Amino acid sequence: MLEIIVFILALLVIVLIGMRSKVDQDHSEIKVSEQVSPENTFLSQLQQKVEITMLPRPSDATLNRHYDALIRAELDAHLSTMPNS
């Protein structure tokens, strides 16, 4: 009988520890707000302008990396043609 009680208590402790770790994980989320600067706004608008002129983003991971490289090259080309200020 004592063995059964110890077994049940051990199960309760394991369940309580598991519940505690789930609660700790939920509260560990860090929320970081990104500061919007004129440079970020300009670059994001320029990237949207470039992406509009291209084909839709592929779903394949490899093609997606090539697509991102192509977008970066187009952004660099646009930025290099702009006058320095």
Write down the pLDDT at residue 24.
47
Is residue 82 within 8 Å of residue 50, measured between CB atoms? Answer: no
Q: One digit per residue, pLDDT tens: the chain, 85 residues?
A: 778 887 888 877 777 776 665 544 545 555 655 666 766 788 889 889 988 988 888 889 999 999 999 999 999 998 899 887 5
What is the C-alpha to C-alpha distance for residues 35 and 19, in angstroms, rounded to an integer? 36
DSSP string, 14-53: HHHHHHHHHHHHHHT----PPPP-HHHHHHHHHHHHHHHH
Q: What is the model's pTM? A: 0.50
User: The tokens of 11 are what?
Assistant: 């199960």
